[in-house]
A and B are shown apart, each in its own frame.
Chain A
Amino acid sequence: MSKTTDTDDTVREQTTPLVDVDDPEDRVDPVQQRVIGGSLVNVCDEMGHKLTRTSYSSIIRESEDFGCALLDEQARQIAETDSTPLQMGPIPAYVRGVVELFEERGDVFREGDVVLHNDPYYGASHAPDFAVVVPVFHEGDLTAFSVTTAHHLDVGADKPGTCIIDTVDAYSESVRLDAVKIVEGGQRNETAWQLIEDNIRVPDMVMGDIEAQISAARVGSDRLQDLFAEFGHDTVKLAGQAMMDYSERMLRQEVADLPDGTYSAEGYIDGYLASEDDAERDVFLAVDLEVDGSDVRVDLSRCADQVDGRPINMPFEGTVVPAVLLVIRSTLLDTETVELVPQNHGITRPVHVHAPEGSIANPRFPAPTIARFCPGNRLADLTMQALADVVPERTCAGIGNLKICTYSGMTDDDEYWVYMDITSGSYGARPGKDGLDATDTLYANTRNNPIEDIESHYPLQVSRYELREDSEGAGQQRGGIGAVREMEFQTPGRVSIEGDGSKYPPWGFDGGHDGTPGAVAVEGEIDADTPRSKMSNKSMAEGQSLRTVGPSGGGWGDPEQRDPAAVAEDVRDGLVSRERAETVYGVVLTEDLGVDATATADRRGD
């Protein structure tokens, strides 16, 4: 059960199983499993706390676009914190990528190393999400990894910021960090730091954020050592494996309850809507989800081919797999309805995802991938739609996808300012509940930045942030409502947008209506009527404003079945007009916006 070498001379030997057994749950008593399990999550939370408190850019400290996790020596996730899933899901793939690169170049992990990594062809989610990997040793053996990931404001691409939709390959979208030891055996590699710093437009923020990531990862390593000292190294390892087995069993139980069969969904994302190339304009995605006993096989073979020269390709390990897993977990092990099942490697075992090489869901190097967020989230949405076929009661109708914007410009001192803003999406209606309004969706769960923070630090004014009206996906349960957000430039600058959801509406379910697409408009230049969801480093004049409109999610069930009182509430709240209440829901209201029961019954033909 344990490897025997003390001096590992290859990374493969370092990452072979250490204290690995088939029956960990029988070897650690149930009480200790709970105690150690709780402590491991506690460690990850402490890492997250430290990272938010010491980072600089609002994308980390306010929006919480970061992840923290502990992994074992085989890069299997043991525990994570509760920030955004899209940062935590890919962490094991990052570490596997680092191991692979070390193997290729004959490197090994040593105590005191800190590895910085962002290569999407070696496990990274996309280039702006840097991982900081700290190897943890016990009596000379590599036994764990303490890892933080975070989205950086600028990563040295050919345009400011990271919402880049127009780039040719992996070299033009970021400074490439292939498992770089920025600290080696405790010694900072100053040359590496300098090289990174020199390639970034806002070095104070980004380098400070990397430091914060390192401090947080080291806290994870130190606390793990404390746990080894308290409970014994092997016991902690076995408790971690027991947690994995538990989570795996919980998911398998749920999958086994589903009828075997293949369930499918397909649709498009907004590509480059103005392009004359069909393959770029409307990008086809399809999910074929097979339930086989307690396993789920998700086949993405029908998705479009990779789009060369357009960064909407999705890294397979770092984006596609986490997107699919997130939906399977959030529906079958929904924390609202099922006991909290720890998120760890065990959750991944019953799920097998396949996409052929060269697919948009598994591109070949060096296809660019930096704008993979929206297609990935749509893939999650299609996974949901496939599941709606078999477990409708646990799913929701189509979600409104997001738009992510980079605002930039130059200060009077000829220095760059760069600000990244994540707009809100919306959820589709649920079987018993309306959809969530204006929220981050599916595999992302970040926070917006307060208006009072944005305006205090950047020459921008958020001149409007409100819900849309008369846009909901009608249904017995209505879809969530998207938000309108307007940004006015106080000095000349530029804006880039990576987005989706302006052409294809979120899908309705079981008689529910589709939702309403979003839009992008620039005052005096671009109206909202032509569907558009992307923008490439467009220049903006002083006083000019940009409006982004989030899509409203799909409805669930026949709108004429909706409780008339609920319709009246939405009318009183100004979210639905009287006319719409009557024409779409068949609900007739009185002068003072009460339900006219007789007229409603007539209208609905009851």
Chain B
Amino acid sequence: MKILGTDIGGTFTDLYLVDDVANEQTIHKVSTTPEDPAEGVVTGVSELCEMTGTAPAAIDYVLHGTTIATNAVLEHEGVTTGMITTENYRDVTHIGRHQRPQNYSVQQDIPWQNRPLVERRYRKTVPERLTATGTVETPLDEAAVREAATELRGDGVEAIAVCFLFSYLDDTHEQRAKEVVEAVCPETYVTASSEVYPQFREFERFTTTAMNAFIGPRVADYISRFKEELVAAGVDAELHVMQSNGGIATEELVVEKPVSLLFSGPAAGVLGGKWRSGADTADEGANNTITLDVGGTSADIGIIDAGEIVEANVRETSIGGYPVMAPMIDIETIGAGGGSIAYVDQGGAFRVGPQSAGAVPGPVSYGRGGTDATVTDAHVALGRIREEFFLGGEMELDTAGARSAIAADIADPLGMDTVTAALGILDIVNNNMANAIRAKTVQKGRDPGTFTLVAFGGAGPLHAADLARELGVERTLIPRNPGVLSAVGLSTTDLQYDYINTEFTLLSAADSEAMAATYEDLVTAAREQLRADGVDPERVTVEMTADCRYEGQGYEVTVPVGSDGDLDSLSTIRERFDRAHAAEFGHNFEDNAVEVVNERVTGYGEMPSADRLALPERATPAEEHVLASEDVQFSVDGEVRTHETPFYDRTDLRSGHTLDGPVIVGEKDSTIVVPPDFRAAVQEYGDIELTRK
């Protein structure tokens, strides 16, 4: 089977071709074509096929990570969107939770008021109402729906969200309204809140649904164009797209639920990190992993705990300031990357980021017109990044420029020397990243010392060892091809579908037969979806969980409730919840009633994934491959020390090589810094492990 993974970034489009029969894995990189991103992919596919002698028609699956949905939200470039909602609640998406995003600001804007996904003129109300128990209080006025749809059609809206209160309890009204709208507006993208995310909390659900509508037609256009261009290039494969939850879904499904794609790109990186760390193999004892993907403007952090990728609580997920309730990997993104700008603020404080010089004008050392000192400039000033490795030596680096910018922006105002200032920039940006990692580990009761840090992206390997020291991480891994790990990660995933039923039920009063029947329905739906995708039933697994809380609490903890479609006993579920609550929060209340809020089923369809390929073993000592030896400055125990440091080209290294720091290993799209107190060892599969000496 031949699988092609492709991830479109801001600057480069990465491609990765796996042939599990010939046991070949090939990487390719082409420039991103921002006007029509599919164009770059098609160019890359053609070149990759030529390189490997593969017939385009022989590719079985194309797996894709995309930022199309993300950008449509962040740049507010969705379509004109309408909403049909319950009478008397026209402004749910405008009032929100009536909280201001910033505590100490009079001049701030509220994203959903300043840049509404659906303007008030396009929010129409119709008589209908369910009660909190799901019974009909006011029947749906279909004539009113028809009238509203007709008006919206006249207004030229391209998408309509149907959002009724309590629709998560019973979707009949929403579904009927959707049918009526589709009959009136056959060309319009229509979506209902009960199918987007059937969970309580109306502002968040309506906003998610409005966002789904807002970006739906954009995503649908993109996917169909992408598919057409692939076909034109001779690729007649199934197209699957990475979702925010780390599962891949068919093109039809992502068009229905584009809101599931908002973290498509970063999710692929987490999967790649998990794969390289061996998190999905039982034998390496490395099933606790922190993934760190550092690029030019931001760092994305993901956690794999006991072999499971940690998912975000839907209460806490947002994009562009809008809440979004959709299952996603818990990815913490902070404004810390190679382009992050270092400066001294008005009050004299030393700061780094979140503002970034981006790709243009970029760091001072790129010589593209950047004038602000950045994190990359600090690395260049300290002698850590060398021209001959940087983008394969295609670009000159302005070291003197980087140093003078750091001197002018930081060192002079703070009265320190340039080297200390450059090391200070790194300390601060590392601390920002370390705090973000602590928020996902220490704050959640996870000891970073028991985790492997997998650092990738262009800038991750530069910071990995320093972060490991700061966090007490014992094992750090720089994967093979750290710059394209997201594309690689795509090929390691499974198809994944989530099904949810929201119903507030006290566990003590629950009817276990009725609950079992609900789960059976959800399991059946998941299995049917995977069968429709053509997945062999042998390769299907289902996971049954419930979101529970002590009655009266507002936050839920998710616990497993059964396996293979069979529900465990209610007392077992109860005990499991008490234990999970104690693990998460440090205490539990065994005398309090437990309420089930959501019943969930996740179906997985296993894809044939690639094995990791071994790197040849070393034949010659590493020392023979030293390319250069230069002075590099490091901060050791709080003191600045200069060390003569050997530089290596990663392509010269073989499995079994070990290098004592200080050492710097360069490759085309990244640089690994091994400080004086670290040691690097090249692993069987070409990953480089960093440990404290």
Could you list which residues of chain A lie within 8 angstroms of chain B, going by C-beta atoms? Answer: 25, 29-31, 33-35, 38-39, 42, 45-46, 49-50, 52-58, 61-62, 64, 82, 84-85, 204-205, 208, 211, 215, 246-247, 249-250, 253, 326, 329-331, 333-339, 341, 343, 384, 394-396, 422, 424, 427, 430, 432-433, 436-440, 445-448, 450-453, 455-457, 461, 463-467, 483, 486, 572-575
A77 to chain B, nearest CB (A): 14
B538 at interface (Cβ–Cβ under 8 A)?
no
Q: What are the residues of chain A within 8 A of B113 when measuring CB–CB? A: 436-437
Q: What are the residues of chain A within 8 A of B555 when measuring CB–CB? A: 52-54, 61
Main secondary structure of the interface of B (DSSP, over half): loop
- Seed contacts A29-B424, A53-B555, A466-B90; 9 additional CB < 8 Å A-B pairs: A42-B439, A330-B105, A334-B106, A424-B95, A436-B110, A439-B98, A450-B202, A467-B91, A483-B91
Cβ contact within 8 Å between B427 and A35: yes
Q: What are the residues of chain A within 8 A of B200 when measuring CB–CB? A: 450, 452-453, 456
Smallest Cβ-Cβ distance to A452: which chain B residue: B200
Q: Which of A50, A246, A464, A467 sits near B347, CB closer than 8 Å?
A: A246
Smallest Cβ-Cβ distance to A570: which chain B residue: B120
Cβ contact within 8 Å between B107 and A430: yes
Q: What are the residues of chain B within 8 A of A335 when measuring CB–CB? A: 102-105, 108
Q: In the assembly, what is the distance between CA of A443 and CA of B615, in Å? A: 62
Q: In the assembly, what is the distance between CA of A535 and CA of B431, in Å? A: 52
Q: What are the residues of chain A within 8 A of B427 when measuring CB–CB? A: 31, 35
Cβ contact within 8 Å between B121 and A573: yes
Cβ contact within 8 Å between B106 and A394: yes
B193 to chain A, nearest CB (A): 11
Cβ contact within 8 Å between A34 and B349: yes
Q: What are the residues of chain A within 8 A of B119 when measuring CB–CB? A: 573
Cβ contact within 8 Å between A42 and B438: yes
A197 to chain B, nearest CB (A): 14
Q: In the assembly, what is the distance between CA of A400 and CA of B271, in Å? A: 49
Cβ contact within 8 Å between A215 and B587: yes
B250 to chain A, nearest CB (A): 31
> A-B pairs with the 9 shortest C-beta distances?
A61-B554, A455-B132, A573-B120, A447-B97, A464-B88, A30-B350, A56-B552, A452-B200, A35-B431
B612 at interface (Cβ–Cβ under 8 A)?
no
B79 at interface (Cβ–Cβ under 8 A)?
no
Cβ contact within 8 Å between A463 and B202: no
Q: What are the residues of chain B within 8 A of A438 when measuring CB–CB? A: 91, 94-95, 98
Q: Which of B97, B351, B443 sits near A34, CB closer than 8 Å?
A: B351
A130 to chain B, nearest CB (A): 18
Cβ contact within 8 Å between A33 and B431: no
Jot down 23 A-B pairs with beta carbons below 8 A, ordered by A.
Answer: A35-B427, A42-B435, A54-B553, A85-B103, A204-B552, A208-B592, A215-B587, A330-B103, A337-B107, A343-B104, A436-B100, A436-B113, A437-B94, A437-B95, A450-B200, A450-B202, A451-B89, A452-B132, A452-B166, A452-B202, A453-B201, A464-B89, A466-B89
B163 to chain A, nearest CB (A): 12
Q: What are the residues of chain B within 8 A of A422 when measuring CB–CB? A: 98
Cβ contact within 8 Å between B106 and A395: yes
Cβ contact within 8 Å between A445 and B103: yes
B17 to chain A, nearest CB (A): 42
Smallest Cβ-Cβ distance to B199: which chain A residue: A452
Cβ contact within 8 Å between A30 and B349: yes
Cβ contact within 8 Å between A336 and B348: no
B318 at interface (Cβ–Cβ under 8 A)?
no
Could you list which residues of chain B lie within 8 angstroms of chain A, going by C-beta atoms? Answer: 88-92, 94-95, 97-100, 102-110, 113, 119-121, 131-132, 165-166, 168, 200-203, 345-351, 414, 416, 424, 427-428, 431-432, 435, 438-439, 443, 504, 550, 552-555, 584-587, 589, 592
Smallest Cβ-Cβ distance to A438: which chain B residue: B95
A340 to chain B, nearest CB (A): 9
Q: What are the residues of chain A within 8 A of B104 when measuring CB–CB? A: 85, 326, 329-330, 333-335, 343
B427 to chain A, nearest CB (A): 5
A521 to chain B, nearest CB (A): 16
Q: What are the residues of chain A within 8 A of B90 when measuring CB–CB? A: 466-467
Q: In the assembly, what is the distance between CA of A453 and CA of B350, in Å? A: 44
Cβ contact within 8 Å between B554 and A439: no
Q: What are the residues of chain B within 8 A of A439 when measuring CB–CB? A: 95, 98-100, 110
Smallest Cβ-Cβ distance to A467: which chain B residue: B91
B496 to chain A, nearest CB (A): 26
Q: Which of B98, B109, B349, B586 sits near A424, CB closer than 8 Å?
A: B98
- Known A438-B98, A439-B110, A465-B89; contact A453-B103, beta-carbon cutoff 8 A: no
Cβ contact within 8 Å between A574 and B98: no
Q: Which of B88, B100, B131, B435 sits near A465, CB closer than 8 Å?
A: B88
Q: What are the residues of chain B within 8 A of A25 when measuring CB–CB? A: 348
Smallest Cβ-Cβ distance to B88: which chain A residue: A464
Smallest Cβ-Cβ distance to B92: which chain A residue: A465
- Known A34-B431, A42-B439, A54-B585; contact A466-B91, beta-carbon cutoff 8 A: yes
Cβ contact within 8 Å between A34 and B347: no
Cβ contact within 8 Å between A246 and B348: yes
Q: In the assembly, what is the distance between CA of A451 and CA of B504, in Å? A: 15
Smallest Cβ-Cβ distance to B424: which chain A residue: A31
Cβ contact within 8 Å between B105 and A339: no
Smallest Cβ-Cβ distance to B167: which chain A residue: A452
B30 to chain A, nearest CB (A): 39
Cβ contact within 8 Å between B428 and A34: yes
Q: What are the residues of chain B within 8 A of A463 when measuring CB–CB? A: 88
- Known A30-B349, A58-B554, A62-B554; contact A455-B131, beta-carbon cutoff 8 A: yes
Q: What are the residues of chain A within 8 A of B110 when measuring CB–CB? A: 436, 439
Cβ contact within 8 Å between A334 and B94: no
Smallest Cβ-Cβ distance to A253: which chain B residue: B346
Q: What are the residues of chain B within 8 A of A575 when measuring CB–CB? A: 120
A445 to chain B, nearest CB (A): 5
Q: In the assembly, what is the distance between CA of A34 and CA of B432, in Å? A: 9
Cβ contact within 8 Å between B428 and A330: no
Q: In the assembly, what is the distance between CA of A438 and CA of B92, in Å? A: 11
Instruction: Identify the interface centre among A52, A330, A331, A486: most chain B CB within 10 Å of its CB.
Output: A330
Q: What are the residues of chain B within 8 A of A574 when measuring CB–CB? A: 120-121
Cβ contact within 8 Å between A433 and B166: no
- Known A38-B435, A58-B554, A574-B120; contact A452-B201, beta-carbon cutoff 8 A: yes
Smallest Cβ-Cβ distance to B443: which chain A residue: A46
Q: What are the residues of chain B within 8 A of A55 when measuring CB–CB? A: 553-554
Q: Which of B88, B98, B416 sits near A448, CB closer than 8 Å?
A: B98
Q: In the assembly, what is the distance between CA of A320 and CA of B560, in Å? A: 50
A24 to chain B, nearest CB (A): 13
Cβ contact within 8 Å between A336 and B95: no
Instruction: Identify the interface centre among B98, B345, B438, B555: most chain A CB within 10 Å of its CB.
Output: B98
B280 to chain A, nearest CB (A): 29
Smallest Cβ-Cβ distance to B591: which chain A residue: A204
Q: In the assembly, what is the distance between CA of A408 and CA of B12, in Å? A: 60
Q: What are the residues of chain A within 8 A of B350 when measuring CB–CB? A: 30-31, 33-34
Q: What are the residues of chain A within 8 A of B97 when measuring CB–CB? A: 447-448, 450
Smallest Cβ-Cβ distance to B345: which chain A residue: A339
Q: In the assembly, what is the distance between CA of A433 and CA of B110, in Å? A: 12
Q: Which of A30, A39, A49, A446 sits near B435, CB closer than 8 Å?
A: A39
Q: In the assembly, what is the distance between CA of A45 and CA of B102, in Å? A: 15
Q: In the assembly, what is the distance between CA of A205 and CA of B110, in Å? A: 32
Q: In the assembly, what is the distance between CA of A467 and CA of B345, in Å? A: 41
Cβ contact within 8 Å between A33 and B349: yes
B281 to chain A, nearest CB (A): 33
B219 to chain A, nearest CB (A): 27
Cβ contact within 8 Å between A249 and B94: no
Q: Which of B107, B424, B443, B554 sits near A334, CB closer than 8 Å?
A: B107
Q: Which of A64, A331, A336, A341 sits near B99, CB closer than 8 Å?
A: A64
Q: What are the residues of chain B within 8 A of A34 when measuring CB–CB? A: 349-351, 428, 431
A41 to chain B, nearest CB (A): 9
Q: What are the residues of chain B within 8 A of A215 when measuring CB–CB? A: 585-587
Q: In the assembly, what is the distance between CA of A464 and CA of B91, in Å? A: 10
Q: What are the residues of chain B within 8 A of A436 when measuring CB–CB? A: 100, 108, 110, 113
Q: In the assembly, what is the distance between CA of A465 and CA of B97, in Å? A: 12
